[in-house]
Structure formats: structure tokens, C-alpha cells
Amino acid sequence: MEPTRLTVTILRQIRDGVSDVSARLDQTNARLDQTNTRLDQTNARLESMHEELARRIVESELRTATALTELSGSVREMTATLRSASELRPRVDRCEGDVAELRHRVERLESAR
């Protein structure tokens, strides 16, 4: 059985169609390679940004911890000062009372003269 012209024509068209599909697949693969390259670059930039952000967070936490330590020391000092002042309060009240009594005595002495 010999191939007919129609069969040969159809086979050639199929061959040409397969060649076109193959060429388009090559183009698609090239675009996918470009996309993968860009994704790799993006991932590298994101990783770099992540590392920088992590470093900044650690630095910020260190600064915060240092500030809290200093604040804690200041609060302790203020507490000690306030305790000291509250311990002196009764003494100050007595002294003010004594001064008021002395003034009253002086005023009486001056008015008696």
C-alpha cells in the first residue's frame, strides 16, 4: 500500500505543527528560566532584608533592655529618696511645731514689753 498525496500532506502538516509546538515550548522554557532567575534574585534580596531586620530587632531589644535597666536603677533611687523623706516627715513636723511655739513665745515677750 503506497501512501497517497493526502497522507503525505497530512503527515507533513503534523510534522510542521510538532515543530511549532516544540519551538513554543523552547520559548516557554526560556521565559521560565528567566522567571526562576528573577525569583532567585528576589529570594536573595528577601533573605538579606530578613537578616538586616533580625539584626535591627536584636539591637533594638538590647537598647530597650539597657533603658529598662537604667530606669529600674532610677526608680530604686527615687524609692530610697522618698522613703528617706517619709522617715524625716515626723521630725520636720516636730521642728515646725517647735518653731511655731518659739515664735509665739517671742511675740508674747515682745507684747509684754
pLDDT per position as a tens digit, 36-62? 999 999 999 999 999 999 999 999 999
Compute the half-sphere exposure of residue 43: CA atoms within 13 Å on the CB side of its CA.
6
The pLDDT value given to residue 2 = 75
The pLDDT value given to residue 1 = 58
pLDDT in tens, the chain (113 residues): 577 999 999 999 999 999 999 999 999 999 999 999 999 999 999 999 999 999 999 999 999 999 999 999 999 999 998 888 778 888 888 999 999 999 998 888 888 87
3-state SS of 64-100?
HHHHHHHHHHHHHHHHHHHHHHHHHHHHHHHHHHHHH
